[in-house]
Amino acid sequence: MHYPEHNPLGKFFNKMATSFEKGLPFSCYRKPGEKEIRSIYQHNDALNRAVTFKERGFVFAPFDLEKGAVLVQPDDVQTISLDTLATPAKEKVHEGESGKLQHINLVEQGISEIRKGHLEKVVLSRRISVERSKGPIDIFYTLLSLYPQAFCYLFYHPKVGTWCGATPETLVQISNNTMKTMSLAATMPYQEHKEPEWGSKEIEEQQLVSDYIRVKLQPLMEKLKVGDAKSTRAGNLWHLKSKVKGTLLPETDIGEIITSLHPTPAVCGIPVSAANTFIKKHEGYDRGFYTGFLGELNLEKEKEISLFVNLRCMELHPNSAFIFVGGGITAASDPESEWTETQNKSLTMFNVL
């Protein structure tokens, strides 16, 4: 599908449509709260990898980093700035109840493992299969218009697939030796004119993530500050978030920061390796790039990165899509509420289909 050429956005989008037709990799994205949309085009279909994170381009990394992070080489970088985007009319797509029993069983298994003392927290997820008729670029446009505060992206590589999403979570941003990240956890549905009231379960769950990030980053930073937890809105949801800021030690390697943060307990669990083993054994599907990370790597300058956790995302197939959703399980979790939480999270993507 092509867009009207007289309009700069139409031209900008048509270049992506051409890359799809030619089978050439690209990534197009907008950072949280920004007006600028950027596309990175690779002029061949090679499957390049980011290994040391000293590479330059757009990185697209799976949950399981051992499977290899993909790098879109920046042969051509284009940007466009947009003030407002019209919100396209949407058909109401409903999330079904299929998979409920399976997810509840999975959560029960997680809780039982936690009660046995093997784990403190584990993030358990599921994959929802949906039909779709809207094209990837139209879906991306809707993401941009509905979620101005998220990192919105569309990624395509002929040897990897097509993914899109609108994530509220930063993995790590580094610029001029200053590092910023966040501790994000706990979820409640958004209600207009109503501030969320968090219970001790949610507060403790988010605190676990903050403590983990502090321990991981302390040895790599000159100064590190973890802010207080505050409510933050992500589409139809509230989360609890603490801002984390630090100054890099002169010898700190960026690759070490990335690998010490990924996967955080916000997407895996505590302890990480036991949670990871539990996920691989019980989740029953391969997460692929869901809960991996993505973003700019040394694009404008060396040692400058802007990476996000791949949440609220979809893998697009010719007439269908997989939506991925999960949530953190602790000893205090209730399986039925955890199911509802994943249903609520799935709306971020259902709303753009």
Smallest separation (angstroms) from ligand ISJ to the CB of 314: 12
Q: Is residue 311 part of the contact set for ligand ISJ (CB under 6 A)?
A: yes
Smallest separation (angstroms) from ligand ISJ to the CB of 165: 10
Q: Which of 143, 164, 184, 270 binds ligand ISJ (CB under 6 A)?
A: 184
Site residues for ligand ISJ, 228-247, by CB under 6 A, read 239
Smallest separation (angstroms) from ligand ISJ to the CB of 245: 19
Nearer to ligand ISJ, 186 or 316 (CB): 186
Question: Encoding tokens for residue 110?
Answer: 């997680």
DSSP designation for 228: P
Smallest separation (angstroms) from ligand ISJ to the CB of 175: 23
Q: Which of 258, 267, 275, 294 binds ligand ISJ (CB under 6 A)?
A: 267
Beta bridge partners of 127: 324
Distance (Å, rounded) from C-alpha 229 to C-alpha 241?
5
Q: Is residue 124 part of the contact set for ligand ISJ (CB under 6 A)?
A: no
- Cβ neighbours of 161 (radius 10 Å): 16
Quickly tell me which residue has 């302890």 as its tokens.
271
Nearer to ligand ISJ, 25 or 328 (CB): 328
Smallest separation (angstroms) from ligand ISJ to the CB of 325: 5
Nearest alpha carbon to residue 245 among 174, 151, 150: 174
Smallest separation (angstroms) from ligand ISJ to the CB of 309: 7
Q: Which of 246, 288, 327, 335 binds ligand ISJ (CB under 6 A)?
A: 327
CB 45 within 8 A of CB 159: yes
Helical H runs in 267-329?
Answer: 272-282
Smallest separation (angstroms) from ligand ISJ to the CB of 202: 8
In angstroms, the Cα distances linking 283 to 21, 75, 108, 122, 264 are 35, 38, 12, 11, 18
Q: Is residue 31 part of the contact set for ligand ISJ (CB under 6 A)?
A: no
Q: Is residue 352 part of the contact set for ligand ISJ (CB under 6 A)?
A: no
Q: Which of 220, 270, 325, 347 binds ligand ISJ (CB under 6 A)?
A: 325
The distance from CA 89 to its chain's CA centroid, rounded to whole angstroms, is 25
With a CB cutoff of 8 Å and minimum separation 6, the contacts of 239 are 168, 184, 185, 186, 187, 231, 232
String of contacts with ligand ISJ for each residue 162-181, x by CB under 6 A = -------x------------
How many residues in the chain?
Answer: 353
Q: How many residues bind ligand ISJ (CB under 6 A)?
A: 17
Q: Is residue 294 part of the contact set for ligand ISJ (CB under 6 A)?
A: no
For residue 350, which amino acid is it? F
Piece in contact with ligand ISJ (CB under 6 A), picked from 12-20, 253-261, 314-322, 326-334 = 326-334
DSSP designation for 283: S
Question: Encoding tokens for residue 178?
Answer: 């200053």
CB 80 within 8 A of CB 28: no
Q: Is residue 326 part of the contact set for ligand ISJ (CB under 6 A)?
A: yes
Distance (Å, rounded) from C-alpha 317 to C-alpha 262?
27
Smallest separation (angstroms) from ligand ISJ to the CB of 185: 5
Question: Encoding tokens for residue 234?
Answer: 């992500």
Smallest separation (angstroms) from ligand ISJ to the CB of 23: 30
| Site residues for ligand ISJ per CB under 6 A | 123, 125, 169, 184-187, 239, 266-267, 311-312, 325-328, 345
